[in-house]
Amino acid sequence: MDAITVEHITKKYGGVLALNDVSFTVGKGELFGLIGPDGAGKSTLFRILTTLLLADKGKGTVAGHPIVNEYKEIRKKVGYMPGRFSLYQDLSIEENLSFFATIFGTTVEDNYDLIKDIYVQIEPFKKRLAGKLSGGMKQKLALCCALIHKPEVLFLDEPTTGVDAVSRVEFWDMLKKLKTKGIAILVSTPYMDEATLCDRIALIQNGEILKINSPQQMISNFEKPLFSINSTETYRLLNYLRVQNFTESVLPFGENLHLITNKPYEVSQIEHHLKISGFSDSTAKTIQPTVEDIFLDVSQPVN
Amino acid sequence: MNILAYIIQKEFIQIIRNKAILPMMTVLPIVQLIVLSNAASNEVKNVNVVVVDMDQSESSRTLNHKIIANDRITLVATSFNTNEAHFYLQENTSDIVIEIPPDFENDYINGKQPKIQLLVNATNGQQAIVGSGYLKAIVASFNAKLIQKVIPDISISKQSNTTISSRYWYNPELKYTHFMAPGILAQLTALLTIILSAMNVVREREVGTIEQINVTPLKKWQFILGKLIPFLCIGLVLFTVGIIASKLIFSIPILGNLPLLFGYTTLNIIAVLGLGLLISNFADTQQQAIFVAFFFIIIFVLMSGLFTPIDSMPKWAQQLTVGNPLAHFISVSRKVLMKGSGFWNIRFEFLYTFILAFIFNGLAVWSYKKQV
């Protein structure tokens, strides 16, 4: 039985379509990522699945319970970490944790083994008020509070936004461990580099799911010729490539340009073409696509 | 039950950590009690008067002296020019101008009726009516004496008139503070509890904690009760502090049964808290909540009978006070403290407050949605 099923869910805010016919499933012990930019509809989907919001159309189940009729059961079985830090800032780490344990009818001791790995990292500061914690520690505390009642499904809405790089890596390590305990995790992130850490990902934009697959499959399924080009005149080169016949898309990636061509070329052909066009110092190479390349490719309207 | 106890405990921890609430509970009520009970007075203690004595006779001077001798009246100026006297009124330096006409004494002796004119600044109606009342009383007693002097035989029959002697029950010395302090006490308690509760749920919404709470199996009534009980305790503490302070500072009478008063206070605070939570449920920000709470507070205070008696309001306004928990609170507080009223005397206040508490809290639980 799947931990989460979503079938044709649609939600409108006024005239704006926040979610358009979204469907996917998340299995038990699966780490499923919703990858998309701000405003893609990720938080709306989280709210619908955590029974805070009603969808206009479509249905879904969480932990085997339909999201509308059995919302009370769902609330007992899910852990939710909203995008914004939502714990009591004027309570200490300890107090927040035992508060959430109590309202779920359990105690910190009962489920300590589940949160132990995470909690030991913030335990030295357990008397500190939550409002005075650093971003990374806040996330760890929020994760502890979301886990304290042994949920079957964990919803993490942009858990690493605003968290430093080291804490982000640690956070994803923790998620991997949780997954082995059979907890299904739905996580959203705007960071494409985190996508490869998920079992499967859904690329979402403007309320629509563009693609669902494992990140590895997505990368190996990508068949378009992709080149990374380095040049000292990046901006001029970008403008030049945009209007070429062989270009399908060209986008800046850091100090390089990622070029997708509409038919296969050799690296030497590209380099040669650039040299005779006045970009003598530019170098090109074939690269494996990243999730970001794939996202930009599917999200871009083809001219 | 365990869950509820824990929520209450959590709420108390938050209240104690909030540095603003403790002084709000202790210092503020005492300051307000002292300031308001003394200052918010309807008594007219000083009337500024300008005398225009055109007569300059013995009689007019006697009248003049009588007026000045009254300790509630201050003579601002004397003048022989009516226009100049009007100027004092215009300048607000004088409340009343008394004009004694040129033939004042002559008219008396000749058996005509001399006329004194009072020009009263009636911008403040209370001041105008009471001030001119003082002067009328002085003129009347002056009149009686003068008639006695001029026509001695008439005065005998005058003196056999009915005389009225009144005794002031429940507040024999007519101490204004005895009347105000119990009312202000009630007003303070209601005001603080409505604001605290109106701000509370909405604060959780602003900070975002409510989103986390809503995804838990916490029941609505547990949530609302968890908010209500701590604020009820605060309200009762505040009321106790207030009573002790007014006893020590103003030595207000405490004639009635204190447990009865506290019983009613509990019921009243529950009603007011229900309204506060109801406001909180509909507001998105603390700012909105405060504005709406303020709207109710102003109406409640001005129509509570605290400053102006409910009996002197128009009929419709009097009927509206049935829905005003503060009006009942003030009434009970005054009745129990000053008159020593028992339960039977305040049964209607109990009944109305109970109904209000039921309605407000019912709506608060009903309107609290665990969804966005």
A151 touches chain B (CB under 8 A): no
Name the closest residue on chain A to residue B223, using Cα atoms.
Answer: A103
How much is the average pLDDT of B72-84? Answer: 86
Backbone φ and ψ for A134, nearest 5 degrees, come out as -75, 165
Position B155 pLDDT exceeds 80 = no
Mean of the per-residue pLDDT values of chain B: 87
Two structure tokens written together for A263: 């038919």
Distance from the first to the final alpha carbon of chain B: 27
pLDDT digit string, tens, across residues B59-70:
888 888 888 888
Position B320 pLDDT exceeds 80 = yes
Give the burial string for A185-197 (b: 16+ CB within 10 Å, else e): bbbbbbebebbeb
Q: Which domain holds residue A258?
A: 222-299
A104 touches chain B (CB under 8 A): yes
CA A7 – CA A44 distance, rounded (Å): 15
Listed by start position, the domains of chain B span 13-40+172-367, 47-153
How much is the average pLDDT of A96-123? Answer: 91
Q: Could you identify the residue written with the tokens 């989280």?
A: A46
Residues A164 and A235 in one domain: no
β-sheet with A184-189: strand ranges across:
A78-81, A153-157, A184-189, A31-35, A200-205, A208-213
Contact between B214 and B223 (Cβ < 8 Å)? no
pLDDT number for residue B350: 94
pLDDT number for residue B159: 52
How much is the average pLDDT of A22-27? Answer: 94
At residue A302 the predicted structure's pLDDT band, cuts being 50, 70 and 90, is: very low
Q: CA of B202 to nearest chain A CA: how many angstroms apart?
A: 14
Residues A97 and A232 in one domain: no
Q: Could you identify the residue written with the tokens 């520690």?
A: A137
3-state secondary structure A33-88: EEECCCCCCHHHHHHHHCCCCCCCEEEEEECCEECCCCHHHHHHHEEEECCCCCCC
Q: Count A/B contacts: CB-CB distance under 8 Å.
A: 70
pLDDT digit string, tens, across residues A67-106:
999 999 999 999 999 988 889 999 999 999 999 999 998 9
Residues A228 and A210 in one domain: no
Asked which of A14-28, A146-160, B127-141 is least confident by mean pLDDT, the reply is B127-141
Find the CB nearest B217 among A75, A87, A99.
A75
pLDDT number for residue B333: 93
Asked which of A98-107, A206-215, A272-281, B19-28 is least confident by mean pLDDT, the reply is B19-28
| Strand pairing report for A256-261 and A247-253 | antiparallel
Instruction: Give which of A236, A231, A245, A239 is closest to A285, Cα–Cα.
Output: A231
pLDDT digit string, tens, across residues A286-297:
998 988 899 988
Two structure tokens written together for B12: 């108390």
Are B212 and A86 inside 8 Å of each other by CB?
yes
pLDDT digit string, tens, across residues B196-229:
889 888 988 888 898 889 889 988 888 889 999 9
CA A154 – CA A147 distance, rounded (Å): 8
Are A80 and B10 inside 8 Å of each other by CB?
no
Find the CB nearest B2 among A51, A89, A102.
A102
A171 touches chain B (CB under 8 A): no
CA A229 – CA A253 distance, rounded (Å): 10
**Share of residues in chain A with pLDDT > 90 (%):** 53
Instruction: Give which of A8, A121, A116, A3 is closest to A62, Cα–Cα.
Output: A3
C-beta neighbour count of A102 within 10 angstroms:
23
Residues A203 and A233 in one domain: no
A100 touches chain B (CB under 8 A): yes
Name the closest residue on chain A to residue B370, using Cα atoms.
Answer: A52
A13-17 contacts at long range (C-beta below 8 A, 24 or more positions apart): A13/A44, A17/A206, A17/A207
Name the closest residue on chain A to residue B7, using Cα atoms.
Answer: A99
Name the closest residue on chain B to residue A101, using Cα atoms.
Answer: B3
Two structure tokens written together for B367: 């309107």
A89 touches chain B (CB under 8 A): yes
Asked which of A224-238, B138-152, B354-368 is least confident by mean pLDDT, the reply is B138-152
C-beta neighbour count of A172 within 10 angstroms:
17
Which residues on B lie below 8 Å from A76 (Cβ)? 217
Residues A151 and A227 in one domain: no
CA A116 – CA A118 distance, rounded (Å): 5
Number of domains in chain A: 2
Residues A197 and A242 in one domain: no
Residues A129 and A254 in one domain: no
Residues A190 and A271 in one domain: no
Last residue of a domain, one of A214, A245, A274: A214
- The sign of the dihedral angle between the CA atoms of A19, A20, A25, A30 is negative
Find the CB nearest A104 among B211, B216, B370.
B216
The total number of residues shown for chain B amounts to 372
Residues A188 and A143 in one domain: yes
Its CATH class, for the domain covering B47-153, is alpha beta
Amino acid at A73: E
At residue B372 the predicted structure's pLDDT band, cuts being 50, 70 and 90, is: low
Contact between A299 and A210 (Cβ < 8 Å)? yes
Whether the complex's predicted ipTM surpasses the cut of 0.90: no
Position A240 pLDDT exceeds 60 = yes
The SS3 assignment for A162 reads: coil
Which residues on A lie below 8 Å from B7 (Cβ)? 103
Residue to mutate among A102, A107, A132, with most B CBs inside 10 A, is A102
CA A149 – CA A146 distance, rounded (Å): 7
Find the CB nearest B211 among A52, A91, A99.
A52
Residues A155 and A43 in one domain: yes
pLDDT number for residue B1: 57
A95 touches chain B (CB under 8 A): yes
At residue B154 the predicted structure's pLDDT band, cuts being 50, 70 and 90, is: low
Residues A205 and A235 in one domain: no
**Share of residues in chain B with pLDDT > 70 (%):** 95
Are B216 and A100 inside 8 Å of each other by CB?
yes
Q: CA of B200 to nearest chain A CA: how many angstroms apart?
A: 13
Mean of the per-residue pLDDT values of chain A: 90
Residues A188 and A236 in one domain: no
Contact between B309 and B230 (Cβ < 8 Å)? no
Name the closest residue on chain A to residue B15, using Cα atoms.
Answer: A90
At residue A303 the predicted structure's pLDDT band, cuts being 50, 70 and 90, is: very low
Are A103 and B218 inside 8 Å of each other by CB?
yes
Position B290 pLDDT exceeds 50 = yes
A52 touches chain B (CB under 8 A): yes
Position B89 pLDDT exceeds 90 = no
A103 touches chain B (CB under 8 A): yes
CATH at A159: 3.40.50.300
Two structure tokens written together for A69: 């009729």
Are A75 and B211 inside 8 Å of each other by CB?
no
Position B315 pLDDT exceeds 50 = yes
Q: CA of A139 to nearest chain B CA: how many angstroms apart?
A: 14
How much is the average pLDDT of A130-143? Answer: 90
